[in-house]
A and B are shown apart, each in its own frame.
Chain A
């Protein structure tokens, strides 16, 4: 238990003080109470903001901690979502269908990421090429899915649906309990917290330190006795599974998925969340993924056509004035301020 607390509270992410953890607890409590204070519609919207966070966390782990930028991680979001739709759709009415869909979705995203990552990392592809390769993969997937309209494009009884997408995807359920509305919100919250704490433990472990070392200098790390390719592959697969987790929650939330979910626009979003928050902090990406989803969704739902222009502008501003990310830089300022105050209050 002491080890787990030590790993969670370690220095691999911002927020290590008692004040931080009290604030963290208060915010979690507010999220727990939120459904009691608002409408089902708003709870559903917040579920959407939450369900995207694992995708952002995967991006932070891969890009921020391991130094590998994937511009196509939504491919794994889509692979998991479509796989869930096919499995759960074909097992419709069976209580284990959704669970099998979740397992199938995560395995499918891990499998594709494993094959793709193996060739990328074991061939020692240069880092700057990886974003292009990953983007190509997701655009190929989008193009393929887009031409799957028609009755001939079905797996079992489930139609892939071309650009109209796959519809009627079942809710997630455990036994006889179906997660929809409020219960789905709590499921998302639980998944986000579990992912966040697990990743905090990971980045504070020796494995986490080694992946940071790989980011800093691959050759030096290899010459300290580490198989860097294997570690990069593990991180890549893990981050793809996190993207897959978001894809699973997405299809359970809206009961549909379209090829545009693996398109260029969606591919850019996790990169923007990570860059705006600060790639080197899990918490920063959690905050920015939630906030930017809220901003985008709110602007879009009010008929504002410029939501993506605003998000793009924010990215440019961040790159120019907050190169390490807005949340990370604010946290650093607060940290310095607290240290200065503590120092000046000492006699």
Chain B
């Protein structure tokens, strides 16, 4: 186990009936890295995220988070190790106010990260234009703010690692750019970030390294330039144009 790995999976396997969602996945993200994960629909990206945060259990293999074997650790305990996740479909508490959404995660915040975590949170709230005292129902917010609210909720827990599943889905170009700006800043403060995305412009803007998943396997890994030039990646995902 490499000491500065934020995440490491070893021979991770997961099947849903006859569908292979993870096939011997060996995946590693170093601390402080900003990694993007791409791949066609059904490649196993969301399942990998679900296994990393404990929502799905692996059929076999191991998962390490910050050097700790969490393969059998419950989801809420993984969060307490400093893992935060946003979902592909927004799961902020729509019936509760913005204020409540941002207050609820506070009691489980990782206190040893308080100083840097609070600075990250304040930066994000400011950049996203979210007021932590806002009494507006979250469900009444426009789509982009709802996405940003869920990211901010995760940051309230002062995480060391965030997993974002399609954070810019449905956003306009300007909003996507703003999201990229915030994620790059958060990463510059040492926050390990893993993003699943389909928007290649966004991926090119933020990624240091890109992992391509295909049919439950790590198909390719490398810099943005390497991946975009990769003949087989172009064939299965990016297109030849």
Interface of A toward B, CB cutoff 8 Å = 206, 209-210, 212-213, 216-217, 219-228
Asked if A222 and B103 make an inter-chain contact with CB atoms under 8 angstroms apart, the answer reads no
Binds A, one of B17-25, B88-96, B194-202, B220-228: B88-96
- Nearest chain A residue, comparing its CB with the CB of B85: A223
Asked if A223 and B55 make an inter-chain contact with CB atoms under 8 angstroms apart, the answer reads yes
Asked if A225 and B105 make an inter-chain contact with CB atoms under 8 angstroms apart, the answer reads yes
B-side contacts of A216, CB under 8 Å: 93-96
- Judged by a CB distance under 8 angstroms, whether B107 is at the interface is yes
11 contacts between A and B (CB under 8 A): A210-B104, A212-B100, A213-B96, A220-B93, A222-B76, A223-B53, A223-B85, A224-B153, A224-B154, A225-B80, A226-B76
- Judged by a CB distance under 8 angstroms, whether B151 is at the interface is no
Max chain A Cβ within 10 angstroms of own Cβ: one of B75, B91, B103, B104:
B104
Asked if B107 and A217 make an inter-chain contact with CB atoms under 8 angstroms apart, the answer reads no
CB proximity of A161 to chain B, nearest CB, Å:
46
A206 and B106 in contact (CB under 8 A), knowing A213-B93, A219-B91, A224-B157? yes
- Judged by a CB distance under 8 angstroms, whether B41 is at the interface is no
Which one of B55, B92, B103, B153 lies within 8 Å of A219 (CB-CB)?
B55
User: In whole angstroms, how far apart are the Cα atoms of A217 and B90 in the complex?
Assistant: 11
Number of residue pairs across A and B with beta carbons under 8 Å? Answer: 58
User: In whole angstroms, how far apart are the Cα atoms of A194 and B154 in the complex?
Assistant: 37
CB proximity of A257 to chain B, nearest CB, Å:
39
Asked if B93 and A226 make an inter-chain contact with CB atoms under 8 angstroms apart, the answer reads no
- Nearest chain A residue, comparing its CB with the CB of B75: A222
CB proximity of B73 to chain A, nearest CB, Å:
12
Interface of B toward A, CB cutoff 8 Å = 53, 55, 74-76, 79-80, 84-85, 87, 91-96, 100, 103-109, 153-154, 157
A-side contacts of B91, CB under 8 Å: 217, 219-220
Which one of A219, A224, A228 lies within 8 Å of B104 (CB-CB)?
A224
User: In whole angstroms, how far apart are the Cα atoms of A222 and B85 in the complex?
Assistant: 11
User: In whole angstroms, how far apart are the Cα atoms of A206 and B156 in the complex?
Assistant: 14
- Nearest chain A residue, comparing its CB with the CB of B87: A220
CB proximity of A48 to chain B, nearest CB, Å:
36
Asked if A225 and B76 make an inter-chain contact with CB atoms under 8 angstroms apart, the answer reads yes
A-side contacts of B103, CB under 8 Å: 206, 209
User: In whole angstroms, how far apart are the Cα atoms of A228 and B85 in the complex?
Assistant: 17
A-side contacts of B92, CB under 8 Å: 220
Which one of B75, B94, B107 lies within 8 Å of A223 (CB-CB)?
B75
CB proximity of B156 to chain A, nearest CB, Å:
8
User: In whole angstroms, how far apart are the Cα atoms of A212 and B85 in the complex?
Assistant: 20
- Nearest chain A residue, comparing its CB with the CB of B138: A216
CB proximity of B1 to chain A, nearest CB, Å:
24
A-side contacts of B109, CB under 8 Å: 225
User: In whole angstroms, how far apart are the Cα atoms of A207 and B84 in the complex?
Assistant: 21
- Nearest chain B residue, comparing its CB with the CB of A230: B76
User: In whole angstroms, how far apart are the Cα atoms of A210 and B157 in the complex?
Assistant: 14
CB proximity of B151 to chain A, nearest CB, Å:
13
Given contacts A206-B103, A210-B104, 18 further A-B contacts (CB under 8 A): A209-B100, A212-B100, A216-B93, A216-B94, A216-B96, A217-B91, A217-B93, A219-B91, A220-B87, A220-B91, A220-B92, A223-B55, A223-B76, A224-B105, A224-B108, A224-B153, A224-B154, A226-B108
